[in-house]
Amino acid sequence: MTRKTLAALASGLAVSLVMGAGLTAVATAQSVKSGGTLYTAMPWGTIPDNFNPFLPAGSSAGGTLSIIYQTLFYDNVVNGQLTPMLGTSYAWSDHNLKLVITTRSHVRWSDGAPFSARDVAFTFNYIHRNPALDIYGIWTGGLRSVAATGPNTVTFTFSKPDTPIFYFITEQVIVPEHIWATVKDPSTFTNTHPVGTGPFTLTSYSPYEVTYVKNPHYWMTGRPYLHSVVIEAVKSNNTPLLDLIKGTIGFTYTYIPDIPRTYAARDPAVNKYWWPVTNVNILYMNTQESPFTELVFRRAVARALNTSLIAQRAYYGAIGPANEAAVFPGQVKQWFNPALKALQWHYNPAGARKILAQAGYKWNSSGQIESPHGNVLPTFRILVGAGWTDFITMAQIISSELKTLGISTVIDQEPYSTYESSILTGRYDMAISWGAAAGPAPYYLYDQGLGSWYSAKRIGQTAVSDWARFTSPAIDKALLAYQSTSSPAAQRRAMSTIERIVLTQVPFVPLTNRPNFFDYQVRQFTGFPDAANAYNAGDPPDASGADLMYVNVHLK
């Protein structure tokens, strides 16, 4: 489960969102060349014959969440911009115990049936009746009821304030009541003839290729510009790169090592990439294990790491070092308190040795660090996923830099299943992984990564997402304060409180920014998202944010 939020809404204030930037990113239909087939390839191996948006197999099938079904809004993690989809406006009221969403008029399902607020209410209540479908935890945070209170009005009623749930609500795809009301067991329903409100409809399927054609009932006049979309499954990460270079696909989502040289430089006018930051990579220290229980030791580790070098070596300069408070670059201006800049730590190995010495640590004749009690510290494991070249590179640099403090480490590569288990159960010393959650505000990473309700009391118990196992009553209080309000100023104060604790208590060490790996070429098509026109977050072709790309891309 992950948590998200809307931070730009004052309590009781209705916000109308008439055609957000994601829906007006290109010129008018009269000046755009329509037609063409956009191809993409993904290293999935095969595509399941399952288009059930509630199930992992169906939601990961190419196009289920991005082409067939739509959400109420799209909340852009990169810049916090909200784009209306099936919803047009919303309002919190009654001390944030009621959320009213207005749905879009004149929308039809791909079979021609009319869409209404009833479909929205049905979707959320269907999830309530089938708790296994509630992957966002929508019904676990105080939501009491969802009802269609008009043809275009849906009312969400809560037993306690929980404004961050709005982001979960925006993530949920909406399904048609007239189809799904007869589906008694969604856990076995493969939905091979899907009916949605999205810009395209499914026309052919094979395990290696899925084809979609323009939906004649789509609600946006003149959109999509494309005639069709084809999503291919390939076996190797190298295949999409070769297909991009040859021009046989328009875009893909994959990490390409040294992408400025291996791809972009081959044809700078055509070969493009945009890797917007949507998370951070973090060095987690097990704060339930000595010496990581000690603040001075965590501070020393943080100051011994050259995160600029780590980012350069791991991503060849395409991705930069992370903000020390783990605030994403696109969110720094709105969310990071500039008064806290003086608390940010900097690469200073000499300073790290100094603070350790002041705390009583010593070094023996072999250069090994000794605890204040005179014991040589053991060799620590740095846990990474097996074969994850970027994380392995980070671990190698960290290992080398910790040697300057006399700290001995080994890199422990584990397959994902055991890597995940080791992190969740706290059976690690240090581990490199991503932020436990991401959203359009720092709240989501802090809530999942530092909320005591996601932690565990001892090693061996599963911590849902507080992987560092660091807890703080002050952090919990700030998170609850954020949840209880929809005032941007109050939410910023809560985040400032947590930022200060992260910078002074060092529960983990943010290493590098973590992007979406959006790679494309503009030989035949244009209108892709980029830094100058970030109408989505460079989302994968099977994620809901890609919907905006499919309605904006067009022939040159």
pTM: 0.85
Mean pLDDT of 84-97: 96
pLDDT of residue 19: 41
Distance CA 319, CA 312 (A): 7
To the nearest 10°, report the CA torsion of 199, 35, 41, 176. 10
pLDDT tens-digit series, residues 192-250: 999 999 999 999 999 999 999 999 999 999 999 999 999 999 988 789 999 999 999 99
3 pLDDT more than 60: no
pLDDT tens-digit series, residues 373-422: 999 999 999 999 998 989 999 999 999 999 999 999 999 999 988 999 99
314 phi, psi to nearest 5 deg: -75, -35
pLDDT of residue 22: 58
Residue 222 CA, chain-centre distance (Å), reads 31
Mean pLDDT of 19-31: 52
Distance CA 278, CA 78 (A): 6
Q: Classify the C-alpha dihedral 190-193-198-203 as positive or negative.
A: positive
Query: In sequence order, what are the residues at sequence separation of 6 or more whose Cβ sits closer than 8 angstroms to the Cβ of residue 480?
Result: none
467 pLDDT more than 90: yes
- The one-letter amino acid code at 476 reads D
Give 403-457 as a DSSP string. Answer: HTTT--EEEEEE-HHHHHHHHHTT--SEEEEE-S---SSTHHHHHHHH-GGG--S
Query: In sequence order, what are the residues at sequence separation of 6 or more whose Cβ sits closer than 8 angstroms to the Cβ of residue 6?
Result: 75, 82, 90, 163, 166, 167, 170, 440, 486
User: Average per-residue pLDDT in the chain?
Assistant: 92
Mean pLDDT of 87-101: 97
458 pLDDT more than 50: yes
Cβ atoms 554, 34 nearer than 8 A: yes
pLDDT of residue 463: 94
2 pLDDT more than 80: no
pLDDT of residue 25: 45
pLDDT tens-digit series, residues 35-74: 999 999 998 889 999 999 998 888 777 899 999 999 999 9
pLDDT tens-digit series, residues 351-373: 999 999 999 999 999 999 999 99
8 pLDDT more than 70: no
23 pLDDT more than 70: no
pLDDT of residue 235: 86
> Which domains does the chain show, CATH number per domain?
277-515 (3.10.105.10)
10 pLDDT more than 50: no
Which region holds residue 35: left if phi is over 0, alpha if psi is between -120 and 50, else beta? left
